[in-house]
Amino acid sequence: METTAFLDYLTAQPAYRQQIVHIEHLSARPPSYAELAEPLMPDLQDCLKQRGIASLYTHQAEAVNNARQGKNVMVATSSASGKSLCYNIAVIQALLSEPTSRAIYLFPTKALAQDQLRALRELFCPGLFRAEEFATFDGDTPTAERAEVRNQSRIILTNPDMLHVGILPNHQSWVRLLRNLKYVVIDEAHIYRGVFGSNVAGVLHRLRRLCRFYGSSPTFISCSATIANPGEHAEKLTGLPFSVVDNDGSPHGKRDFVFWEPPIIDKAKSLRHSANSEATALFTELVSRGVRTLAFARSRRLTELIYTYSRDKLARIDPALAERIKAYRAGYLPEMRRQIEQELFSGQLLGVVATIALELGIDIGDLEATILTGYPGSIAGTWQQAGRSGRGLEGSLSFLIALDNPLDQYFMHHPDYFFQKSVENVLVNPNNPYILRAHLLCAAWEMPLNSNDELIFGASFRQERDELAEHGLIRERLRQWYPSSAIAYPAQKINIRSTSGENFTLFDTTSGSLLETVEASVAFFQIHPGAIYLHQGESYLVTSLDLLGRTAYAVPTDVSYYTQTKEIEDLRIVKLTRSKNCGLVKVCLGEVVVTNTVVGFKKKAQFTEEVIGEEPLDLPPQRFSTVALWFDLPQEAITRLEKEQLDFAGGLHAVEHAAIGILPLFALCDRNDIGGVSTPLHTDTGRAQIFIYDAHHGGIGIAEKGFELVTELWQATLKVVNECPCEEGCPSCIQSPKCGNNNQPLDKKAAQILLEGLLH
């Protein structure tokens, strides 16, 4: 793609309003090769040469060398750097040299497993293996074929969910695999973060336990996008030491990375043009010029909105073009997702609007452009999404369109921070008591627990085992712990992708059909009565919500607004675990209980974001235990606020909002993973307080990371507030899109004084 010509074309358009704030020109990089320490088997060498693989990149050779020496390996290199060869070569070499050996490949999605199965068979079948020796085993595998997969397949491609609920609880049927397991591959490891990652760690520890029982000790090969703590992350997931390979030797073409800021339409309020409309405009311009483009949106709803806008706009230009774009997201049936992937790969589609479901390494061919509607929440995630284009050596173009929030605006004003900063830490917490307890119960059901299991599950094992026993969930007999007679198949009740473990169903009452399932943890926010829910480009109005039956009912509708909930929060301190002095104030970390109540919702116009109506809701409160950091406010700053007659409560509230918005800069998380509470007088401390907490049961390490880097957090927060051109506060600095108090009270000047005082 000729990127310069297209950018010149954009800047010459009448609608251009100086949206381009930065262009980073990324040069092409030549390949760097290395030799293996020991030659491969001749048949494997010949097979690779026939497929055009005559040499290995430096990182591929290093990873294969380490794995063949029995070292656990974490490969952390860029998107499209050929990471799959790092594990495929080591595994295939083992399978050829040891006829009984087996391997498990874990992928975060079924689609990625299917894609890798295709690649495996194309590369190594029929020359070296029979097709049936490689097979996927997941929820889509027909029951009639499952025994054949268990008996004949030497590489099982699956996902953590199926390992958790299908393989480990039925390990007696998988003895051949577990006894001869030589390698475990964990691909796209950066996806395993937060609650999901902490649960995956529990699953992998259970796998190691059963391998020990059956006499195997597999080598783990993990692959990830570039992250700041690859070794630590792999070690937390598995409980084993790892060698890190991050010297990326792969080539790439030149790329222009454009930071695109929607223009201000009200300077006093710093109100900007909709990022969704900007994404639609760029997407349709690229597609209409025949540029194969992938546009990412932050949510299912926004994916459907941008797709709908783009389809309608392209239909006015050329109806045939409207047929060559589609939306893609989780919630679609597997058959529909596979069809879209194939149509994109074959070139039948020119463009797709997607959630991060297409962020992963599914082979969708060579794309020329990517559009990111909003900062994905991490530098690693941004590169992962942008890397879906320009996978060959041709030039490519990526756009990052800023949203109205502190983090996006920070990068628009400080692009050097993005391009020069090392990527963030991936956070998991395998010792989260709620998660560890759940997996210990599953482990006890698979095989009685004993004292040796502390070597697998770590120092928290005994405490959480005893907690299970105290609640009557396990019982001791002859120094072993068995599940109580009332426990039946606990893995089925544990959803490893959330802390709630249960889903709500959404039905279309006009057709009686099931539309989608929605996680219980977000059900009150997405399918409350009056909510507008988008499904495959169509709007549905939720008419009722049956709490006992965990079912919502909706009807098709045609409205020009979307809905956004309002909620209020209360927080109580349970236990102080750590504290430190930072300048003039005390900063604390500890266990808390948060009560969240959805009290109403707003109706917001799709294009202008204007609030056109509000309605109350009567839903029960949700309570959960988690981890929070909190800090005092300097008395000198409080005195100054009184003297200048500024709003102290408004300043606290503004600091809370801005700090929550900027914390993902330091931790690989989404803003929705974090919550906050501010008050001039907290019941438990008797002082003015700002709390920032993990919005997940038991905590996942975000608040702890904020506690460690709190000074840097205050500095970045003050910078965002100071640099925002608005007069009284706006979504780019101190307003929050999910504030239950309608962003009242807020005082920007007071927030600046408080932050300056914290840094004094």
Tell me the three-class secondary structure of 350-374, residue by residue: CEEEECHHHCCCCCCCCECEEEEEC
Least Cα distance to 428 among 189, 216, 226, 591 occurs for 189
User: For position 739, what pLDDT does the model report?
Assistant: 74
Contact between 291 and 368 under an 8 Å Cβ cutoff? The reply is yes
325, two tokens: 């774009």
Query: What is d(CA 45, CA 35) in angstroms, rounded to the nearest whole number?
Result: 13
Does residue 481 sit in the same domain as residue 513? no
Does residue 613 sit in the same domain as residue 633? yes
Least Cα distance to 526 among 365, 756, 300, 704 occurs for 300
| Domain final position from 223, 245, 267 | 245
Does residue 610 sit in the same domain as residue 747? yes
Tell me the three-class secondary structure of 609-628, residue by residue: CCEEEEEECCCCCEEEEEEE
| Helix H or strand E encompassing 59 | helix 58-68
Does residue 570 sit in the same domain as residue 651? yes
| Domain final position from 493, 514, 544 | 493
Q: Is residue 632 part of a domain?
A: yes
Query: What is d(CA 434, CA 441) in angstroms, rounded to the nearest whole number?
Result: 11
The total domain count for the chain is: 5
Question: Could you tell me the residue range of the domain that residue 594 belongs to?
Answer: 564-758
Give the list of residues 6+ apart from residue 760 with CB closer than 8 angstroms, or none. Answer: 583, 584, 634, 636, 637
User: For position 648, what pLDDT does the model report?
Assistant: 97
Q: Is residue 423 part of a domain?
A: no
Q: Number of helices (H) and strands (E) in the chain: give both, helices first.
A: 26, 31
Give the list of residues 6+ apart from residue 335 with CB closer than 8 angstroms, or none. Answer: none
User: Tokens 């002082």 label which residue?
Assistant: 687
Tell me the three-class secondary structure of 286-334, residue by residue: HHHCCCCEEEECCCHHHHHHHHHHHHHHHHHHCHHHHCCEEEECECECH
User: For position 422, what pLDDT does the model report?
Assistant: 66
Position 73, amino acid:
V
Q: Is residue 360 part of a domain?
A: yes
Does residue 11 sit in the same domain as residue 62? no
User: For position 393, what pLDDT does the model report?
Assistant: 66
CA 240 to chain centre: 24
317, two tokens: 């230009």
Does residue 510 sit in the same domain as residue 401? no
User: For position 671, what pLDDT does the model report?
Assistant: 74
User: For position 580, what pLDDT does the model report?
Assistant: 97
What SS3 class is residue 677? strand
Tell me the three-class secondary structure of 395-456, residue by residue: CEEEEEECCCCHHHHHHHHCHHHHHHCCCCECCCCCCCHHHHHHHHHHHHHHCCECHHHHHH
740, two tokens: 């239950």
Contact between 432 and 704 under an 8 Å Cβ cutoff? The reply is no
Query: What is d(CA 144, CA 313) in angstroms, rounded to the nearest whole number?
Result: 47
Q: Is residue 98 part of a domain?
A: yes
The angle, 0 to 180 degrees and rounded to 10, between the axes of the packed helices 194-214 and 433-446 is 30
Does residue 63 sit in the same domain as residue 183? yes
CATH of the domain at 321: 3.40.50.300
User: For position 439, what pLDDT does the model report?
Assistant: 97
User: For position 83, what pLDDT does the model report?
Assistant: 94
Least Cα distance to 495 among 473, 522, 514 occurs for 522
Contact between 515 and 554 under an 8 Å Cβ cutoff? The reply is yes
Q: Is residue 379 part of a domain?
A: yes
Q: What is the pLDDT of residues 29-59, one digit of tens each?
A: 899 999 999 999 999 999 999 999 999 999 9
Percentage helix, strand, coil for the chain under 3-state DSSP, each rounded to 5: 40, 25, 35
CATH of the domain at 484: 1.10.10
pTM of the full structure: 0.80
Does residue 375 sit in the same domain as residue 441? no
| Domain final position from 544, 559, 574 | 559
Does residue 48 sit in the same domain as residue 19? no
Q: Is residue 498 part of a domain?
A: no
Low-confidence stretches of the chain (pLDDT beneath 50):
none
Q: Is residue 742 part of a domain?
A: yes
β-sheet bridge partners, residue 605: 561
Q: Is residue 425 part of a domain?
A: no
Contact between 379 and 372 under an 8 Å Cβ cutoff? The reply is no
Q: Return the beta strands (E) in 509-634 as ranges.
A: 513-519, 532-535, 538-546, 551-557, 561-582, 585-605, 611-616, 622-631
Does residue 402 sit in the same domain as residue 481? no
Does residue 629 sit in the same domain as residue 748? yes
User: What residue spans of 250-299 are helical by DSSP H?
Assistant: 275-288
DSSP summary character for residue 743: T
Does residue 607 sit in the same domain as residue 733? yes
